[in-house]
Amino acid sequence: MTLDALNYIVALPEIFLLSMTCVVLVVDVSLRDAQRNASYVLAQLSLLGTFLLLLSGMTDARIYAFNDMFVQDGMADLLKLFVVAIVAVVFVYSRDYLKGRSIFKGEYYLLGLFATLGMMLMISSASLLMLYLGLELLSLCLYAMVALHRDNGNASEAAMKYFVLGAIASGMLLYGMSILYGLSGSLMLVDIAHAVTQTGSTDIGMVFALVFVLVALMFKLGAVPFHMWVPDVYQGSPTAVTVFLSTAPKLAGFAIIMRLLVEALGGLHTDWQQMLVILAVLSMAIGNIVAIAQANIKRMLAYSTISHVGFIILGILAASAEGYASAMFYTIAYALMSLGGFGIIMLLARSGFEADQLDDFKGLNQRSPWFAFMMLILMFSMAGVPPTLGFWAKLAVLKSIIHIDMVWLAGVAVFFSIIGVFYYLRIIKLMYFDKQQDNTPLQCSTDMQFVLSGNALLILALGLYPTSLMVLCVSVFT
């Protein structure tokens, strides 16, 4: 076997990212605390390089590498581009926040870069082995990042909860995978798909394995009834980490659902469709209703995440190319909205003040009309008000559901979205119609202000011209 047989050029972005991360690791060790900005710049440069390599390597074909363990296709390219870009923006947002809390350490960037590598491997995995390793790489980084603020009791509690529950979910996934391996005799997703079509959907053993795999995936994504960790972890971890784990990992989660459920177990779609209907309805119901009762905005956004996950599941359960494209569109839209939402929280936060209560948003319009407007766009988009991106995302998912004749399900989704509008509009009410309690001027760097404005305006722009992104998503699945 020669080196060329590995076809490793396909994984060049990943190899570059890994090498650069090791460079950051070595450089960071030799830096003094005052020079920590160098790690930040290096991390951003690694992400930029990875992004450019991804762009130059884009292809419509399906290429395998590393003995069919690694796959590159249209979906992988698009998702990886968004993952890398989102992580870069997260790094921009979190710099001031980390500095204000004396956790501005190189390790945040290191773990972030390693997590990005894990997500890229998850997105490109073509074997159960790679899928699991990518997921563990991502999860381990996230556990450590949540606990980064060591002296904070809430953060340690959140990390412990996340770690224990995450380990249980990983165990479930491994159990399901071992049954799949036993029944199909292969770790390759293609071979498993082949075995499923041979035995047909009547095979109870396969369905048994499917249940375990599905539970684990839904846990990682945070769908009801596997959502218990989401609010606690979102609230407990430093906002710089919350924004990380609520955005890019969702794209990777969508990718492994596509790889496992659709590519490997697509033959069982009648089985997982029923299970996903229950999960989707429960997620939308619990997420939207419980969010109303929250006074902490990070917790509220956590429940809102759960309801958005319900919508993503809706798209997937349509089990059609249109459904997958709409779910992908929704996932990307959600990641961008969540990025902006937590970005605003970090903008308001300052040293010794978290700005994570709803009341902290009172009278934001008087303090900063521009960022109040940005938050308005973000909240409208999350609620699904036209002409923002969130509206088109919801519309696309609902259309794909109606096309498989599940009109009642679309009705349920609309009903819960309308309930959800309440708590998004409440923030707008607080910002525009309440008196301000906090007169401190906003203090944050110019680059963050620019990127944050760009983020919110992008959501508005994509809402006005949704075709561009939609065409990209549809082209991936045809």
Partner 1 sequence: MTFTDFIFFAFSALLLASAMGVITARNPVHSALFLVLSFFSCSALWLLLEAEFLAIALVLVYVGAVMVLFLFIVMMLDINLVQMREGFVRYLPVGVFFALCLVGIMIWVVGDFSAGVFEVPTLQQAVQHGADYSNTKALGRVIYTDYVLPFEIAAVILLVAIIAAIILTMRRREMTKYQTPSKQVMVKRNDRLRIVKMEATVEESE
Tell me how far apart the alpha carbons of residues 123 and 328 are, in angstroms, rounded to a whole number: 13
Question: Binding of partner 1 at residue 26 (CB under 8 A)?
Answer: no
Tell me how far apart the alpha carbons of residues 263 and 401 are, in angstroms, rounded to a whole number: 20
Nearest to 33 by CA among 97, 98, 91, 111: 98
Question: Binding of partner 1 at residue 137 (CB under 8 A)?
Answer: yes
Question: Binding of partner 1 at residue 208 (CB under 8 A)?
Answer: yes
Question: Binding of partner 1 at residue 107 (CB under 8 A)?
Answer: yes
* Torsion, CA 32, CA 38, CA 43, CA 48, rounded to 10: -170
Nearest approach in angstroms of CB 121 to partner 1 is 6
Stretch that binds partner 1, among 125-133, 258-266, 393-401, 461-469 (CB under 8 A): 125-133
Contact with partner 1 (CB under 8 A) among 6, 63, 165, 168: 6
Question: Binding of partner 1 at residue 345 (CB under 8 A)?
Answer: no
Residue among 32 and 150 whose Cβ is closer to partner 1: 150
Contact with partner 1 (CB under 8 A) among 18, 260, 268, 281: 18
Stretch that binds partner 1, among 180-188, 216-224, 251-259, 393-401 (CB under 8 A): 180-188
List the interface residues with partner 1, window 346-405 (CB under 8 A): none
List the interface residues with partner 1, window 138-177 (CB under 8 A): 140-141, 143-144, 147-148, 150
Question: Binding of partner 1 at residue 12 (CB under 8 A)?
Answer: no
Stretch that binds partner 1, among 83-91, 131-139, 341-349, 424-432 (CB under 8 A): 131-139
Contact with partner 1 (CB under 8 A) among 90, 117, 264, 431: 117
Residue among 8 and 395 whose Cβ is closer to partner 1: 8
Kindly state the tokens that stand for 234.
């979102």
Nearest approach in angstroms of CB 165 to partner 1 is 15
Nearest approach in angstroms of CB 19 to partner 1 is 11
Contact with partner 1 (CB under 8 A) among 69, 285, 428, 470: 69
Nearest approach in angstroms of CB 388 to partner 1 is 37
Residue among 184 and 235 whose Cβ is closer to partner 1: 184
* 89, 341 contact by CB (below 8 A): no
In this structure, which amino acid lies at residue 454? G
Stretch that binds partner 1, among 205-213, 245-253, 377-385, 386-394 (CB under 8 A): 205-213
Question: Binding of partner 1 at residue 109 (CB under 8 A)?
Answer: no
Question: Binding of partner 1 at residue 214 (CB under 8 A)?
Answer: no
Question: Binding of partner 1 at residue 25 (CB under 8 A)?
Answer: yes
Q: What is the CA radius of gyration of the chain?
A: 21
Residues near partner 1 (CB under 8 A): 1, 6, 11, 18, 25, 66-67, 69-70, 105, 107, 110-111, 114, 117, 121, 129-130, 133-134, 136-137, 140-141, 143-144, 147-148, 150, 179, 182-185, 195, 199, 204-205, 207-208
